[in-house]
């Protein structure tokens, strides 16, 4: 049996409400491009892993929550494709647009493509994390980006092997962008009508943004102290 051309890696933590719709939307796309679907259950306390098993090719289970960076690393270790497609578990039906994200890499126009979400009227927070990430990426790599925090990315596995280990937690996308840009890989951003759950303006939402701000700041500090070469 030949290896798949594409590996779709979906990190998930307590996503029983969304994982089924996301995987169902991806199945036709996966069959068309010869892709394997890998869900990494990052220590969920709900039925995320059980629901995913019925619809994907592999489920990687973490006994405890290890964070997004570790989840992506576990999925990558399981993957067989030459191109890796990272997608969030809460895209639901809009996951069907994944082909738009993948195409620039398959066509040879990019080494990594990043999805820019279509703007929505409802917003959470004040964009502090996004501004920090965008400024930090430009300062450390010279690359100007619109979607520094987007977790929807297609990237050649050879690029990931050159980058090495991911940054931890919510800083993983920022670290990935900095390293790819510094190493001279071609990055494109693509406007795609993906839609996922917005972080609210309640205590939980602000706690999440605080953790994200800290993780992004830590990643920027790490990349400044020890840049990739």
* Pairwise pLDDT comparison (133 vs 212), residue with the higher score: 133
Stated pTM of the model: 0.91
Q: Are strands 58-62 and 35-42 parallel, antiparallel or unpaired?
A: parallel
Tens digits of residue pLDDT in 25-77: 999 999 999 999 999 999 999 999 999 999 999 999 999 999 999 999 999 99
Give the position of tokens 């892709």. 35
pLDDT band at 210 (very low <50, low <70, confident <90, very high): confident
Percent of the chain with pLDDT strictly greater than 70:
90
Whose CA is closest to 63, among 78, 74, 51?
74
Which pLDDT belongs to residue 19?
Answer: 98
Judge contact between 82 and 36, C-beta under 8 A: no
pLDDT in tens, 154-169: 999 999 999 998 888 7
Q: Place 205 in a pLDDT band, splitting at 50, 70 and 90.
A: low
Long-range contacts of 59-65 (CB under 8 A, 24+ apart): 65/13
Q: How many residues does the chain have?
A: 229
Q: What is the pLDDT of residues 87-142, one digit of tens each?
A: 999 999 999 999 999 999 999 999 999 999 877 655 555 589 999 999 999 999 99
């Amino acid at each position: 049996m030949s290896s798949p051309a594409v590996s779709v890696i979906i990190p998930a933590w307590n996503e029983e409400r969304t994982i089924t719709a996301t995987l169902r939307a991806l199945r036709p796309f996966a069959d068309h491009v010869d892709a394997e679907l890998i869900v990494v259950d990052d220590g969920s306390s709900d039925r995320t892993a059980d629901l995913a098993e019925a619809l994907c090719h592999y489920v990687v289970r973490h006994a405890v929550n290890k964070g997004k960076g570790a989840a992506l690393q576990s999925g990558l270790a399981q993957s067989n494709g030459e191109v890796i497609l990272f997608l969030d578990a809460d895209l639901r039906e809009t996951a069907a647009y994944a082909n738009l994200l993948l195409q620039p890499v398959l066509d040879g126009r990019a080494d990594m493509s990043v999805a820019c979400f279509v703007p929505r009227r409802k917003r959470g927070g004040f964009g502090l994390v996004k501004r920090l990430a965008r400024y930090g990426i430009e300062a450390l790599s010279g690359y100007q980006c619109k979607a520094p925090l987007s977790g929807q990315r297609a990237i050649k596995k050879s690029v990931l092997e050159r980058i090495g280990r991911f940054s931890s937690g919510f800083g993983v996308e920022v670290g990935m962008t900095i390293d790819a840009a510094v190493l001279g890989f071609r990055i494109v951003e693509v406007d795609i009508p993906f839609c996922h759950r917005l972080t609210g303006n309640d205590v939980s939402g602000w706690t999440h943004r605080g953790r994200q701000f800290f993780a992004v700041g830590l990643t920027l500090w790490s990349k400044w102290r020890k840049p990739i070469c």
